[in-house]
Structure 1
């Protein structure tokens, strides 16, 4: 049994988009929970099993999985015929796993630190900076049109996320902006955003 704990307009939207793209909606139960938000609204939901009260959290037969990259690797491995990731054990899957880890360990931290105006030699030594991360994205897209090459994968779902949510942080680069727009324009992404707007309205009504 698979249960996804999700909060509208949050990081877990990436997992909803993945589920929609994979066509596994009948296999995953989605439970809406509240989370503390930057504007002071919301709050930790006792029904949420995430150790820090965040989302996403995926419960698979009683085992709690967190972190989007880990959940993406798990779901695409569970449903290998979905076509959203290379076959496990192939060199291509290794490259896919690399993008997952790079997002969590480099791109998102660098993006957040730049947005927060935080800079320190330790940070640039460890993860470089957002400009360097953008150069790596661009290098992949130059041979694209998607991150993994000719085919759209879950790597695109995860990696374009910060720029979809915070357009002001998107590099002024036509290649990257076009990629973000193409990701956002996919039917699964549009369906999830529409449904999420309804979920958010329900949460506000309940509050």
Structure 2
């Protein structure tokens, strides 16, 4: 049994998109919960078992999986027939895993710190900046449609998500990649699902 704790228009929206891409929605119970929002709206929901009151949280047969990168990796591998992951033994497995780690360890911290207006030499020396993120993505996507080549994977779904949410960076190569990702069935489904499911009271 799979249960996804989800809050509309949040980081968990990308998990919904992946579930649609995997044709796995019938296997998942979706629990809509509230979360504290940056603008002060929302609140922690007692129904959400996440220890920090966040989403997404996936519970599979009583075992919790948290953090978007881990959940997307985990779910994509549960449904190998969909072809959205790179399996063990494949030549690109290391690169596939590296994109997930890079997102969590570099991309999201950079974008969050820059959105907060925070600058410090420690930040730059550790994470670099959004300019380096864009250059890294452009270097790959200028020669192929997706991060791993011709195949759209869960890595593309994760990495494009901040640009789908906050706006494309204005780089033609990256903007075209974001458009390709946003035009997929998963992204369209997740957007419509969130519109159709208002938040419950906390």
Q: Alpha-carbon deviation of 1:123? A: 1.1
Q: Alpha-carbon deviation of 1:129? A: 1.2
Residue 150 of structure 1 corresponds to which residue in structure 2?
Answer: 150
Correspondent of 2:191 among 169, 190, 193: 193
Q: Alpha-carbon deviation of 1:69? A: 0.6
Which runs of structure 2 are paired with 1:89-104 in the superposition (5 Å)? 89-104=89-104
Q: Alpha-carbon deviation of 1:155? A: 0.9
Q: Tell me whether 1:34 sits opposite 2:34 in the alignment.
A: yes
Q: Alpha-carbon deviation of 1:90? A: 2.2
Residue 13 of structure 1 corresponds to which residue in structure 2?
Answer: 13
Which runs of structure 2 are paired with 1:7-156 in the superposition (5 Å)? 7-156=7-156
Structure 1 vs Structure 2 CA RMSD: 1.4
Instruction: Tell me, yes or no, if the aligned pair for 1:77 and 1:88 is still in contact at 8 Å.
Output: no
- Which range moved further: 107-116 or 15-24? 107-116
SS at match of 2:86: coil
SS at match of 1:31: strand
Return structure 1 stretches of 4+ with deviation > 4 angstroms: none
Distance in 1 separating the partners of 2:59 and 2:93:
24
Which runs of structure 2 are paired with 1:161-176 in the superposition (5 Å)? 161-167=161-167, 170-176=168-174
Q: Which has a greater percent of helix?
A: 1
Residue 203 of structure 1 corresponds to which residue in structure 2?
Answer: 199
Instruction: Tell me, yes or no, if the aligned pair for 1:85 and 1:153 is still in contact at 8 Å.
Output: yes
Distance in 1 separating the partners of 2:79 and 2:193:
24
Instruction: Indicate the structure whose relative CO is greater, using CA pairs within 8 Å and at least 6 residues apart.
Output: 2
User: May I ask how many residue pairs the two structures share in their alignment?
Assistant: 202
Residue 176 of structure 2 corresponds to which residue in structure 1?
Answer: 178
Q: Alpha-carbon deviation of 1:59? A: 0.5
Q: Alpha-carbon deviation of 1:174? A: 0.7
> Deviation digits for residues 149-198 of structure 1, max 9, x if unmatched?
1111111110111111111xx32211111111121111221121011111
Distance in 2 separating the partners of 1:81 and 1:87:
11
> Deviation digits for residues 98-142 of structure 1, max 9, x if unmatched?
100100111111112222221111111111111111111111101
Q: Which consecutive residues of structure 2, in runs of 5 or more, have no partner in the other structure?
A: none
Calculate the TM-score normalised by the size of structure 1: 0.93
Instruction: Tell me, yes or no, if the aligned pair for 1:16 and 1:192 is still in contact at 8 Å.
Output: yes
